[in-house]
Chain A
Amino acid sequence: MMQPEYKDYYTLLPLIILIVWACLLLLADLFIPKSRKSLTAFLSALGLAVTLGFTISQIGRESTGFNDMVVLDGFSTFVNVLLLVSGLLGIALAYGYVKRMGLERGEYYTLLLFSVSGMMLMAQADDLIIVFLALELLSIPLYVLAAFKRKQESEEAGIKYFLLGAFATGFVVYGTALVFGATGTTSLSGISAFVSNGTSSPSTGSGGTLLLTIGAALLLVGFGFKVAAVPFHMWTPDVYQGAPTAVTAFMSSGAKIAGFAALFRVFATAFPALSADMADVIWALAALTMIVGNVVAISQSNIKRMLAYSSIAHAGYILMAFVPYGNKDVMSISIAAGLFYLVAYVITNFGTWAVVIFLEKAEGKDLEISDYAGLAKKYPALAAAMAVFMLSFIGFPPTLGMVGKFYLFRAAIAGGYNGLAIIGVVTSLVSAYYYLRVVVNMYMREGDPTIEREPWLSFTTAITAIATVVLSFVPQWLFLLASTAVFRQF
């Protein structure tokens, strides 16, 4: 056994900092009096900011560590930055919300840090064992956070998320075992090398190939749970609705980023040879996800449930671009498009949830879409921001969501999947109906909504709304970053 070297630590440097910080904060929190828990929030945010600094310093670097079990490359750095920003926004949203709802405990923030660590590990995992480890590290804090309210619906959400999440993890473990059985390795590059060496060529259809294919399919199921793809989406509406809203905001962004990061890396690195079989499966998943997510969202009257189905639908759009992943010319476009859209989605998503938190009252009041009636007259800026987010979700200019969808659809068409792109645009049209209903309520119906004013919430709403609009005019650098966020070549 080799001793770990500097290179190993450097590969995981931001992650190590964050985990150590989280552990120390967990201890330090014991000595922070109950009335001063905002200090924990600031310290957690500081931890994320420091980690973000280190992550940014690694832009352009590539290395591997710990016997090639983890990797640092353009892809992982891009995803890590996005995850850390999500963590920061998650804390900004939670800061006033937990106070107002009587949930303010220091553990909230440390759990969030642990979850972010798990997500970052997911982005850097280059071995199926690490994928499993990361999946657990990111999920377990989320289960606790979902049940944080200790009210019936919140506990129900936590248990439901835990049971189905554990089930999904089981799929990942079983898939890993089968892949190991077929190839004798859990390393992603090892699997790919094994397959391309022809020891078990997919075309011959030997028993090993069958194992490998089943293993890959089980992994797909596991990741499908995490990103909430149909038909593995059943938990999403209940968990999103029951969990504290600030947790939902973080979960719907972070877990999705991490799930897609794992999906992209595992499939593009380890299983490109299986793409002939897998592309059809992912095609069907993407189509189903877009259709079911958008169609069911129409009938929702609760905004949290509506956004839950909308988050399912957006997972479908990202999956759509990933279908041609086996095509060497298109693969990098697919992944760049997915990453670009994740950025657009995360920004819009946090903004939307911020507006939801603005209106939400204790006991889950004011969460119906009809409660938004009259918002534009009373709070024009807030309503304008929400309108921007809804347009971005639909994919309308001038918003980042539009540029993102343009990118995704282009990837699908470049891969030759014109039919899937047509399903995508038609379901976008369907989505316009339910997103516009929020706009209709805000602008065209009379009502008297009240909001809870809170500086960090205003800040988050403002910054995400501005980013959604401004980035749509200057998306060049984001395009460049996304297209250079590639996997390490080996």
Chain B
Amino acid sequence: MEFLLQPLTLLTFFPLIGVLVILFMNSESKAAIRWVALVTSLITFAISLWVFAQFNSSNPDLQIEAKYPWIQVAGWNIYYYLAVDGLSILLVLLTAFLTPISILSTWTAIEDRVKDFMIFFLLLEVGMTGVFLAQDLFLFYIFWEFTLVPMYFLIGLWGGPRRVYAAIKFFLYTMAGSILMLVAILYLGVKTLTFNIPDMLAVLPGLYSSGEITSATQMLLFIAFAAAFAIKVPMWPLHSWLPDAHVEAPTAGSIILAGVLLKMGTYGFLRFNIQLFPEATVQAAPWIALLATIGIIYGAAVSYAQADVKKLVAYSSVSHLGFVMLGLFALNPEGVAGAILQMVNHGISTGALFLLIGMIYEQTHTRELKVYGGLWKIMPIFGTVMLISSLSSMGLPGLNGFVGEFTILLGAFGSKAIGSAWYAGISAIGVIMAAVYILYMFQKMFLGPLGEITHHHELKDLNWREIITVAPLLVFMFWIGLYPAPFFNILAPAVDKLLSVLVIP
């Protein structure tokens, strides 16, 4: 039972304690349930900070390990193995950071079946944290698939009018990707006789060089893993589940979906595709860069055409995640570090946008851009916060988005793996397009004459709870924007180690 006290076990499974408590609470005492959920997620966040305090950022290797044999039948070698390194620590912190914010955002928005909602939400946190920490493919796959279940219920039970459709689409789409990954995982397990990733990484180079796993097979395995992750990211053209899921999901669901779940896809590329299949990674890099560039431009263009503000932000995610993919497959330190930082940035900025849209939706129950207008006059605090978040999302220098996108483009321009500066050049247009759709949205909602919605509703500006909910996000927008060095320092050693095994011609 000693493994229960390992820092990472605690971090991953602590929300389960909240789940157990809530399970035995009366479903009518909604306020108490909300507090239990919030306190649980805050303690989890505290644990994540405690883990971070033990984290040695100059060490590029996995650390703070919790490793115990699990299923040790001949040829299986499955471990219960959690560990963290520079590639994942920021995402782990992001997960623990966004969860309490999301729970706060539901304070008045979720009135129906609060008990079930909080149970699913905390279960989701377990799954997400587990995905970022698992260092055994079997364990990883369990966490990866498990995140689908609570998210499916969050969309299907508390979503908008087409929630059932969106929930099933989300579930089947994501599962379609992960089943191919399952076959690839099992294939690797059969060939290497282990599911433990460090052990696997030790064996694989030999299998590659001896021809036991041919280059063609390696490419197929790469594609199988990439299918799972590309759907999750989502990369163009596999993105069509995302707008439905986002539009129908409740606000807290959208925040987590954009903030963390999509990062599981990009993280998957980083941790698994690049590490396990180095040769295929280098070969595939130009193709991925091509898809990423199309995604950047496509997402931005479609964003501009949306009449629904939530859909607009959803499509902007396709564009932003395109940048992350471009940076990852630049396969140089600037690109990869920028991509990881941009994952965090996107979680913060887009999380904030969804949060703010949820706040106004709660009052007006509509997200149609055309009914809004002139909101800044009646909701000045809301307007200011929205402006900062929008600017952060479009990459204004001085805010976090700029740092990420700039570093990514820097990496992509100089990337030998991508081989052409055109991708970066075209992608840079995406930055300008982001300014267009974001400012278009801001102008429609906040500037100009009062929209028709103001005739029907007494709109109130943000209250204290809402300001507290969004304030931490604003802090990080400025912090990363003005002084990103500490964040890059955490990443750098692990990124260098990751790239050191790649042979780029």
Interface footprint category on A: 20 to 34
Inter-chain CB contacts under 8 Å: number: 79
Nearest chain B residue, comparing its CB with the CB of A377: B113
Q: Which residues of A have CB within 8 Å of B75?
A: 333
Residues from 26 to 68 in A contacting B, C-beta threshold 8 Å: none
Mark out the residues of chain A between 403 and 432 whose CB falls within 8 Å of any chain B CB in the assembled complex: 406, 409-410, 413-414, 418, 421-422, 425-426, 428-429, 432
Contact A480 B156 (CB under 8 A): no
Question: Cα distance A436–B73 when bound, in Å?
Answer: 33
Q: How far is the CB of B180 from chain A (nearest CB, A)?
A: 7
Contact of B71 among A380, A426, A476 (CB under 8 A): A476
B432: Cβ under 8 A from any A Cβ = no
Q: Is B43 an interface residue (CB 8 A)?
A: no
Residue of A nearest to B181 (CB): A425
Residues 433-461 of chain B, each 1 if its beta carbon lies under 8 Å from chain A, else 0: 00000000000000000000000000000
Closest-CB distance, A32 to chain B (whole angstroms): 43
- CB pair A409 B167 closer than 8 Å: no
Whether A406 and B186, one on each chain, are in contact in the complex, defined by CB atoms closer than 8 angstroms, is yes
Determine which residue in B76, B116, B179 has the highest number of CB atoms from chain A within 10 A of its CB, and name it. B179
The answer, among A380, A410, A444, for a CB contact under 8 Å with B189, is A410
A432: chain B residues at CB < 8 Å are 171-172, 175
- How far apart are the CA atoms of A463 and B171 in the complex, in Å? 28
A422 to B138, CA, bound (A): 18
User: In whole angstroms, how far apart are the Cα atoms of A444 and B113 in the complex?
Assistant: 12
Specify which chain B residues have a CB less than 8 angstroms from the CB of A428 in the assembled complex.
179
Q: Are A429 and B172 in contact (CB under 8 A)?
A: yes
CA distance A333 to B76 in the complex (A): 11
Given contacts A402-B145, A432-B172, A436-B171, contact A421 B157 (CB under 8 A): no
- Tell whether A171 is near chain B: CB-to-CB under 8 Å: no
Q: Closest CB-CB distance, B80 to chain A, in whole Å?
A: 10
B182 within 8 A of A: yes
Q: How far is the CA of A396 from the CA of B368 in the complex (A)?
A: 37
State which of B70, B76, B164, B187 has its C-beta within 8 Å of the C-beta of A444: B164
- Least Cβ distance of B49 to chain A in Å? 28
Residues of A within 8 A of B116 (CB): 380
* In the assembled complex, B163 has its CB within 8 A of some CB on chain A: yes
A444–B157 touching, CB < 8 Å: yes
The distance in angstroms between the C-alpha atoms of A333 and B146, with both chains bound, is 26
Other-chain residue from B143, B149, B167 in contact with A396 (beta carbon distance below 8 A): B149
Taking CB atoms, residues of chain A closer than 8 Å to B171 are: 432, 436
A429 to B180: give the CA distance in the assembly, Å. 10
Q: Does A279 make an interface contact (CB < 8 A)?
A: no
Q: How far is the CB of B479 from chain A (nearest CB, A)?
A: 36
Interface residue? B176 (CB, 8 A): yes
- Asked if B72 is at the interface (CB within 8 A of a chain A CB), the reply is yes
CA distance A93 to B156 in the complex (A): 32
Chain B proximity of A291: nearest CB distance (Å): 15
**Contact between B156 and A443 (Cβ–Cβ < 8 Å)?**
yes
- Interface, chain A (partner B; CB < 8 A): 333, 380, 391, 396-398, 402, 406, 409-410, 413-414, 418, 421-422, 425-426, 428-429, 432-433, 436, 440, 443-445, 475-476, 479-480, 483
Closest 4 CB pairs of A and B: A425-B179, A397-B142, A397-B146, A479-B73
19 contacts between A and B (CB under 8 A): A396-B146, A397-B141, A397-B143, A398-B146, A402-B142, A409-B186, A410-B189, A413-B183, A413-B187, A414-B190, A418-B187, A425-B179, A426-B179, A429-B176, A429-B179, A432-B172, A433-B168, A440-B167, A443-B153
Other A-B pairs, 16, CB within 8 Å; known A380-B116, A422-B183, A436-B152: A406-B138, A410-B186, A410-B189, A410-B190, A413-B186, A413-B187, A414-B190, A421-B183, A429-B172, A429-B176, A433-B172, A436-B168, A440-B167, A476-B73, A479-B71, A480-B73
